[in-house]
Amino acid sequence: MLAAAERAWGEECGVVGIYGDSDASRLCYLALHALQHRGQEGAGIVSCDGGQLKGITGLGLVSEVFNHSKLSKLPGSSAIGHVRYGTAGDSVLKNVQPFVAGYRFGSVGVAHNGNLVNYNELRIMLEDSGSIFNTSSDTEVVLHLIATSKARPFISRLVHACEQLEGAYSLVFLTEDKLVAARDPYGFRPLVMGRRSNGAVVFASETCALGLIEAEFQREVNPGEVIVVDRDGVSSLCLMPHKERKACIFEHIYFALPNSVVFGLSVYQTRYRIGEVLAEEAPVDCDVVIAVPDSGMVAALGYAYKSGVPFQQGLIRSHYVGRTFIEPHQKIRDFGVKLKLSPVKEVLEGKRVVVVDDSIVRGTTSSKIVRLIKEAGAKEVHLRIASPPITGSCYYGVDTPSREELISHKLSIDETCAFIGADSLAFLPLERLRGMLGHSAPTFCDACFSGNYPILPKHLDLPPSGVDTRIKEPVVLPVA
Ligand SMILES: O=P(O)(O)OC[C@H]1O[C@H](OP(=O)(O)OP(=O)(O)O)[C@H](O)[C@@H]1O
Ligand SMILES: NC(=O)CC[C@H](N)C(=O)O
Ligand code: SF4
Ligand SMILES: [Mg+2]
């Protein structure tokens, strides 16, 4: 299980939905493989053959949870699937999605990428009126809201439920006769729709999942849109109140795979361009440019190209260790970096090395890497980071550590450089990132860099300036 426990950034989750293919659960399984980078804590699939919904969930990687015999227990021509990295609720089996519930008129399954900022309020309200919860995940409130809605028919219940949610949600639902996709009005998390040549409809978090199951990309599910697929075809409802779009820029910087197109932009091209901009912004005399694999790779290529310095593979990544951000325990994260990345002495010895990574969160990876590279004989190590400093937590589906654990919240750039032990350190300035996005910059969320949170959990409401000053030390009241 080390692989599942080794990611430094908490990634988020991946969802998939298939309608109209007799191999629905197998296609789901393959699509979940393509989305594995989005969550490694647990995986699940729920399918329907027109009768009951059947589900299998488990802790661990998709390949650990499913095998041939398990997939054969999930018959039917429609299915939904999920890979989880939790934002609310522990990493335990009962929190692994999809969740299934029976309500008065049938059964419904749900898989969710995102995080609900009004989860606590909704759960208290539902429990006050008699709901009994099975899990500690925010996603479960969606099912209770559907079950307790007074609206009819099912789609009206679902829309009524979604209208009470605040925060980030890219959702897929399965019932006995429908597949439904819904995206929150801000569109924080991606969700796309595709079609296979046999007409089967597919929803997935990233386009890389469509490619693997030979589905052609059709379009994004729009922010605030609900798409219903059933025997009458595909219909779209845009019932949720319109908000300014706030797509997560971190999908481009880190989460998504470079072969995906996210929010209409190629992840590869965005990362490459960021690397070029970083080279313009923070040039340095050096002999070689290397990347921190995997997610620093494409930006490093852009940096090397722009600076005219050769790119080489100075760090080798073990394919048997996952993303280290995910690990909740610092000790395992420390060890994980060592296990995952090994230096190539022949590339580094006696060289002035530029190392490009996509982000610094706690500083675990970068400090270990600088040490590894110096021990391999590098003369100088210059760290270049393809994002602005992360100074705030995320409330929209990325399980970032608390603000107090973020190194850029605690230390200035110079202090961070000294802590990491690099000869120089530079980040991509926020203004350059926004400049690259041009007129679409306001349609992206960059709150973990800027503190401009589009919507906050109620207990964390910010002053109007939007500056993230909200998290205070807990006040300990004297015992009377
Ligand atoms: O400052 P830290 O807390 O160490 O976190 C930052 C690191 O975490 C991420 O990599 P990760 O290992 O999660 O995944 P990757 O293999 O996709 O780069 C990110 O790419 C940085 O390398
Ligand atoms: N990272 C996510 O998107 C997580 C989905 C959901 N909030 C959970 O905790 O399971
Ligand atoms: S706060 Fe950061 S990680 Fe979260 S949605 Fe906004 S940009 Fe993405
Ligand atoms: Mg990394």
pLDDT, one tens digit per residue, over 310-341 is 999 999 998 877 666 545 555 555 666 778 89
Domain with 306 in it: what CATH number?
Answer: 3.40.50.2020
234 and 337 housed in the same domain: no
Q: Is 235 in the same domain as 287?
A: no
> Does residue 145 lie in a domain region?
yes
Query: pLDDT tier at 457 (50, 70, 90 boundaries)?
Result: confident
Same domain, 289 and 161: no
Report if residue 250 sits inside a domain. Answer: no
- If asked whether residues 115 and 240 sit together in one domain, one would say yes
The domain total for the chain is 2
Q: pLDDT band at 456, cuts 50/70/90?
A: confident
Determine the structural domain holding residue 366 and report its residue range: 267-451
234 and 283, same domain (yes or no): no
C-alpha 312 to ligand 3 mean position (Å): 31
Per-residue pLDDT tens for 242-261? Answer: 789 999 999 999 999 999 99
pLDDT above 90: percentage of residues in the chain:
82
**Pocket lined around ligand 1, Cβ cut-off 6 Å:** 7-9, 254, 292, 294-295, 323-325, 357-366
The verdict on 123 and 199 lying in the same domain is yes
Residues 167 and 278 in one domain: no
Query: What's the alpha-carbon Rg for the chain, to the nearest Å?
Result: 23
Pocket test for ligand 1, best of 274, 335, 365, 419 (most atoms within 8 A of CB): 365
In a domain, 122, yes or no: yes
49 is in an annotated binding site: no
The average confidence (pLDDT) of the chain is: 90
pTM of the model: 0.92
- The response to whether 357 counts as a known ligand-binding position is yes
Question: Do 27 and 146 sit in the same domain of this protein?
Answer: yes
Are both 161 and 235 inside the same structural domain?
yes
261 HSE (CA, 13 A, CB side): 12
- Mean pLDDT score, 170-194: 97
Same domain, 277 and 369: yes
Q: How many residues are recorded in the chain?
A: 480
What is the identity of the amino acid at 157? R
Within a domain: residue 433? Answer: yes
- Pair (226, 318) in one structural domain: no
Residues 190 and 240 in one domain: yes
Cβ neighbour number for residue 414 with a 10 Å cutoff: 10
Look up the CATH number of the domain holding residue 14.
Answer: 3.60.20.10
Longest dimension (CA), the chain: 71
Residue 405 lies inside a defined structural domain of this protein: yes
| Residue 34 main-chain phi, psi, to 5 deg | -65, -20
- Enumerate the active-site residues: 13
- In a domain, residue 218? The reply is yes
Cα–Cα dist 275/285, whole Å: 16
